[in-house]
Structure 1
Amino acid sequence: MAAVSAIFIYPIKSCRGISVLQAPLTPTGFRWDRQWLVVNYKGRAYTQRVEPKLALVEVHLPNDAFLEDWNPSETSFLAYSHFAVIKAPGMDVLKVPLREPQQNADGVSVWEWSGSALDEGDAPSKWFSDYLGKPSRLVRFNAASQTREVDPKYGPGHQIMFSDEFPYMLISQGSLDALNTVLKEPVSINRFRPNILVDGCEPFSEDLWTEIKIDNVIFQGVRLCSRCKLPSINQETGIAGPEPNETLKNIRSDTVLHPNHKQKGKIFFGQNLVWKNLAVEGKGKIIKVGDKVNILGKVSSIAEAVV
């Protein structure tokens, strides 16, 4: 039976992820996932597509932050355990309080969405401006006043923070292993930035999953994850190359997977998910490494998978 083998959180969009043993769920994704965003002087999002140096930015959160009901204390917020600690080559350590800031930043935009966010202030702004060599600010999604809807064609009623399209993304170890057998140089799972890695299933079997249950949580598979240039960026160096995207074009393109559909030149790796049973009570609002993955529904062939 398939089981969760790793869980990844990406607190700052396009910066390095964190591998955790457990993670609380929210309707917009795992808690802390893509909650922060680095923007330019116009408020437009920076991503690795244009700033690959973001791959080298490490974000560390306290272990307590991944407990189900943990919140930063109002009275002891200066404790080291109540900060996000941010590091990058050649830079001093930056500490950002996990308590939400009070300052607003208007005109923030990421892809099709624009709105206001919470501004983390001058120290993070200077840090990222110095690191990227251009005016930058660090902002946080303001869930109290803002919403960002998932494409209603695929996830009606669901929302995200600063993720690209969907709250969760799953890949199997079998799929990564199968890809690596045809690559000249194997790549790590960090090239694909999943939230959930599962093991114990056949390669690309996740393509077919339309509904899965992990512990008490039911996820709906809404569409295969189409990949941009980011997998071609080495996450240890921030340097882009042709692989694995060139190989994926040969084995995971819409031409190969859906030859009878309109071709858009896309490549696919992984399955996007939404949290289906949002009203689950008590236990079940957190998933852990080792949890079993039960397949509740699937399509019969890749030709039926939604892309």
Structure 2
Amino acid sequence: MITLAKLFIYPVKSMRGTQLSHTLVEETGLTWDRHFMLTLEDGTFITARKYPELLRFTPTLSRDGLYLRAPDLQHAWIRIEDFAEVDAPTEVWGNHFTAKIAPDSINRWLSHYFPHPVQLRWIGNPPQRKVTKRPEHPLSFADGYPFLLINDSSLHDLQNRCPAGVAVDQFRANLVVSGASPWEEDHWSVIRVGEIIFDVAKPCSRCILTTINSQTARKHPSGEPMRSLAQFREAADGSGDIDFGINLIARNSGIIQVGEQVAVLQRKPPRSYLQKVSQAGVEAPPVLSTPVRDVEIAFSGRHFIGNNQQILLEQLEQQGFSIPYSCRMGSCGSCRLSKISGEVTAMNANAVSDSTLLSCCCIPNQGPLQLEID
């Protein structure tokens, strides 16, 4: 029998989560899940993918607001009624909508922990954001869908394959089920948890956030568990997606609680995945032993001096450019750029083609290096 083993919400996107025994399922997700988020002043979202220290902030919901504790144990409290009444333009992964901004005092306090000013935002009531491919469904600040489910048997299989320790909280799921076979969730189309029916929207493609220890906020030096997942969970359709878990949309609202039965109502053919060589056969990235050297880089109308030691993606981010990315290990292709001139050192065989490169896996070698959005 398949049962609901664990429930989690993440009140503030990319901050620590809260484990629950029961909760209310709403259209936007579990109650209060990702209803708050940090952004830049222009409304662009930020996450622990780029700022891992976010994972060390602890949010706690109160009767009428939110209590935040920072890694240095300083704290702040904000009431829902203190958020600005005027809606402000906000963005998550290219999805544009409006949200409400916290008072300046809260934003100044939070900005102290980051290299630039940030703002705390609340999704508002009712939320203005919609699921991009299902615009009839409202959505919180979650990446793309209201719910994320993982199967603990699949997690155990990954743990057995991965040379590094892997914890459930690295995947930031809402629902964790037990009693199913490993990867059985690939076949699910419609499920019922207690009295709530969920449609499976898609497999959940994973990113670099899974490689960050949620307690220490440190990235795994070898990119685990993404590196292990890429050996057997990269989609065969050429998308570069590395999947773990499934995204859900609820058909109805109501209470769900740990221990309730999970019934599979409809099944479908699973997505196909590539089967690659074992970890022992993976070619190690080249070791850079060359002395530090300046490299002239031109991108998006700007010129700056980079170096021949850091990957391009990091150097562009340090200059304030926002480059799309997901895996940061050369699988998803999101950070691909056009190379007009110059030379780079590729960290893997697929990082460079005749005219494009993956900025997450290339290091400037010889300039002037001229790049453009692909």
The residue type equivalent to 2:121 in the other structure is V
> Which one of 172, 179, 201 corresponds to residue 193 of structure 1?
172
Residue of 126, 150, 171 corresponding to 2:131: 150
CA RMSD of aligned residues (A): 1.8
Q: 1:290 aligns with which of 259, 266, 281?
A: 259
1:45-194 matched pairs, under 5 angstroms: 45-62=45-62, 81-99=63-81, 101-144=83-126, 146-152=127-133, 155=134, 157-194=136-173
1:265 Cα deviation from its structure 2 partner: 1.5
Distance 1:41 1:300 in 2: 44
**Partner of 1:73 in structure 2?**
none
Q: CA deviation at 1:109?
A: 1.7
- Determine which of 165, 189, 196 is the counterpart of 1:210: 189
Residue 175 of structure 1 aligns to which amino acid in structure 2? S
What 5-or-longer segments of structure 2 have no aligned partner? 274-374
The answer as to 2:217 corresponding to 1:248 is no
- The aligned amino acid for 2:75 is V
Amino acid at match of 1:272: N
The more displaced of 89-98 and 167-176 is 89-98
Relative to the length of structure 2, the TM-score reads 0.69
1:31, distance to aligned residue in structure 2 (A): 1.1
Shift in Å, 1:287:
0.6
Deviation of 1:87 (Å): 1.2
User: Contact 2:206/2:241 (CA < 8 Å) preserved in 1?
Assistant: yes
How far 1:105 sits from its partner (Å)? 5.0
For residues 49 and 168 of structure 2, the distance between their equivalents in structure 1, rounded to whole angstroms, comes to 18
Partner letter of residue 30 of structure 1? L
Amino acid at match of 1:59: P
Counterpart amino acid of residue 268 in structure 1: D
Bigger Rg, which one: 2
Secondary structure, aligned partner of 1:157? strand
State the Cα deviation string for residues 160-214 of structure 1 (Å, max 9, x = none). 1211110101001101111000111221111111110011111111111101111
Query: How many angstroms does 1:119 deviate by?
Result: 1.6
Q: What one-letter code is carried by the residue in structure 1 that aligns with 2:254?
A: K
- Cα deviation, 1:191-248, whole Å, max 9, x if unaligned, reads 1111100111111111111011111110001110011111011111111121000001
Please give the secondary structure, in 2, of the residue aligned with 1:270: strand
What's the CA shift for 1:156? 5.5
Equivalent residue in structure 1 for 2:244, among 266, 269, 278: 269
Matched, 1:5 2:1: no
How far has the Cα of 1:106 moved from its partner? Answer: 1.9
Counterpart code for 2:255: I
Q: What is the CA deviation profile of residues 244-295 of structure 1, one whole-angstrom value per residue up to 9, with x for unaligned ones?
A: 000010011113xxxxxx302110000110002x3xxxxx611111111011
Return the structure number with greater strand share: 2
Verify the 8 A CA contact 1:100 1:118 in the aligned structure 2.
Answer: no
Alignment-derived partner of residue 23 in structure 2:
23
Indicate yes or no: 2:220 matched with 1:234.
no
Counterpart for residue 33 of structure 2: 33
Task: Report Cα offsets for 1:40-72 as digits up to 9, x if no partner.
Answer: 12221111121111111111225xxxxxxxxxx
Structure 1 CA distance, aligned partners of 2:238 and 2:232? 15
Matching residue of 1:77: none
* Residue pair 1:103, 1:120 contacting (<8 A) in 2 also: no
> Which letter does structure 2 place at the counterpart of 1:162?
F
Aligned residues: 271
Distance 2:92 2:268 in 1: 33
Structure 1 ranges of 4+ moved more than 3 A: 300-304
Greater shift, 32-41 or 110-119, is seen at: 110-119
Query: Are the equivalent residues in 1 in contact too, given 2:98–2:128 (CA < 8 A)?
Result: no
| Partner SS state of residue 131, structure 1 | coil
Q: Is this contact kept in 2: 1:7–1:289, CA < 8 A?
A: yes
Taking structure 1 as the reference length, the TM-score comes to 0.83
Give distance in 2, aligned partners of 1:100 and 1:206: 42
Q: Look up the SS of the partner of 2:264 in the other structure.
A: strand
Q: Whole-Å Cα distance in 2 between the matches of residues 293 and 184 of structure 1?
A: 31
Partner amino acid, structure 1, of 2:146: P
Distance 1:189 1:138, change over 3 A: same
Q: Using a 3 Å threshold, how does the CA distance of structure 1 residues 299 and 114 change in structure 2: closer, same or farther?
A: closer
**Other structure's SS at 1:86 match:** strand
Partner of 1:42: 42
For residues 270 and 52 of structure 2, what CA distance do their matches in structure 1 show?
36
Determine if contact 1:91/1:131 at 8 Å carries over to the other structure: no
